[in-house]
Structure 1
Amino acid sequence: MTNDKRNVERASKLDTATLSDALDKLGIAGQCHRIKARSTDFRLAGRAWTLKYGPASNPPGTVGDYIDDVPPGAIVVLDNAGRVDATVWGDILTEIAHRRGLGGTVINGVCRDVALCLKLGYPVFSRDHWMRTGKDRVQVEATNIPVNIGEARVQPGDILRGDADGVIVIPREHEDAVLDTAETIQHAEDAIREACRGGTRLDEARQQFKYHQLQTRGK
């Protein structure tokens, strides 16, 4: 297994809360503010394939026929500047993405046709969902460039991890450090739980495993 795949697998075993704490400890901004799963059952982990939208020109450009270019397992990351008045993802894209084995979709904006992603179990994360089309309102500006998702920067190839609490971006240049730190935090929290199950007081267990320093930068 390549290191690229190994790190995606490592990320998939960690929840976003633990990864968020690791990012805080390392001073890295990677929490996607207000980006939520359309179902609390949705989970995703994979590398980013990015697309940036802008307001439509006159005559308008296309909203995008890019889906067949996205490699299996990748996360489609769509930056629509946080707009909630025009969608950039719907049922046709969901069906094709699901059939092609993509890892999920993350949108700095809104989607529609939520019923199908729920039926198929295809994970979509966005600011919200609404029915009004983006056609003639937005257009593709560029693909596979750095984008912004919920105030976090995402570059092509970065790891994204999503669950019921939201979405985390792990920058490629820091992924080993973030994953190492998150695993250390997870081991400490597991040890605290196990100690408490054995009768140890919570405050004592937290002190023993340095709980209050786990997320503090530089400690």
Structure 2
Amino acid sequence: MQELRAIYRDLSTAHVADACMRVGVPVRCAPSGLHPVLPGAHVVGRALPAQHSGSVDVFLEALEHAVPGDVLVVDDGGRADRACVGDLVALEAARAGLAGIVIWGLHRDTRELCEIGLPVLSLGTSPSGPASVEPQPPDALEVARLGEHAVTRDDLVLADDDGAILVPLARASDVAEAAASIRDTERRQAAAMRAGTSLREQVRFRDYLDARRDRGIGFREHLRDVGGAIEE
């Protein structure tokens, strides 16, 4: 796991999303409204799921089984009427060595979270905490949801300023290899653009227009022929 985390530290969620498409892994992104409390966040680690039912005890119980480097994935059903994570949970997670917290729901204590420094991503903020407590589901520590996607201990979580993405641990190495190739290609393209070679020149865009007219090929097919990496 430590080696995987090291590999993913230099990959973005965008690289990984494109890589998933390239290697045939379903793209499982968190809802688009998910953002980090502090810009510049980069979180990678094994998922530590927890379903919130109105009490922080589920988070404390999850931390009993945590391994340093895990990412706490909090399922509050995407609720917009209450916050489910605040400064005390974040501080406890930081003390346990977690890499970050990803919340399908809201957070509060924003100033304190910024001071703690543990990366936290959520759908937004609310000063209000839970008004009631419901029974904890039997699988509360086994699976959490991020939007339409189920998250388990078999998933790697990668999160940054663009959101969060889930990768099955069983395919994480394959995805990382493809993502690194995409990243390196895009960096070469950006460097060439700064040196004076336009992106259209690099991808031989006029050749593509001719091929589209004569052979009806799509742009993605053309990019694969010339080694481009803009689209998958």
- The TM-score, its normalising length taken from structure 1, stands at 0.84
Counterparts in 2 of 1:62 and 1:187: CA distance versus 1, 3 Å: closer
For the pair shown, the structure with the greater C-alpha radius of gyration is 2
- Shift of residue 61, structure 1, vs aligned partner: 10
- 1:187-207 per-residue CA deviation (whole Å, 9 max, x = no partner) reads 111121222233222112134
Match of 2:2 among 1, 5, 15: 5
- Shift of residue 115, structure 1, vs aligned partner: 1.1
Pick 1 or 2: higher relative contact order, CA cutoff 8 A, min separation 6.
1
Q: What's the counterpart of residue 206 of structure 1?
A: 203
Q: What's the counterpart of residue 176 of structure 2?
A: 179
5+ residue gaps, structure 1: none
Contact kept, 8 Å, 1:35 with 1:125, in 2: the verdict is: yes
Contact kept, 8 Å, 2:30 with 2:164, in 1: the verdict is: yes
Between the aligned partners of 2:101 and 2:124, the Cα distance in structure 1 is 13
- Shift of residue 211, structure 1, vs aligned partner: 3.1
Between the two proteins, the alignment pairs up a number of residues equal to: 207
Between the aligned partners of 2:5 and 2:175, the Cα distance in structure 1 is 12
Counterparts in 2 of 1:146 and 1:206: CA distance versus 1, 3 Å: farther
Judging by fraction of residues, say which structure has more helix.
2
- 1:43-99 per-residue CA deviation (whole Å, 9 max, x = no partner) reads 211111111234x6xxx9955532344222111111111112122211111122222
Q: What secondary structure does 2:79 align onto? A: strand
Q: What's the counterpart of residue 150 of structure 2?
A: 153
Contact kept, 8 Å, 2:58 with 2:141, in 1: the verdict is: no
Q: What secondary structure does 1:156 align onto? A: coil
Judging by fraction of residues, say which structure has more strand.
1
Between the aligned partners of 2:196 and 2:99, the Cα distance in structure 1 is 41
Counterparts in 2 of 1:8 and 1:165: CA distance versus 1, 3 Å: same
- 1:2-54 per-residue CA deviation (whole Å, 9 max, x = no partner) reads xx221121111101111122223335122111221112132211111111234
Contact kept, 8 Å, 2:50 with 2:59, in 1: the verdict is: no
Between the aligned partners of 1:188 and 1:61, the Cα distance in structure 2 is 44
Counterparts in 2 of 1:53 and 1:209: CA distance versus 1, 3 Å: same
Q: What's the counterpart of residue 121 of structure 1?
A: 117
Q: Which moved more, 1:170-179 or 1:143-152?
A: 143-152
Contact kept, 8 Å, 1:91 with 1:116, in 2: the verdict is: yes
Between the aligned partners of 1:171 and 1:158, the Cα distance in structure 2 is 5
- 1:165-193 per-residue CA deviation (whole Å, 9 max, x = no partner) reads 11111111221221111111111111212
Q: Which moved more, 1:69-78 or 1:139-148?
A: 139-148
What is the percent sequence identity of the aligned residues? 25
Q: What's the counterpart of residue 14 of structure 2?
A: 17
Q: What secondary structure does 2:41 align onto? A: coil
User: Which one-letter code corresponds to 2:52 in the other structure?
Assistant: Y
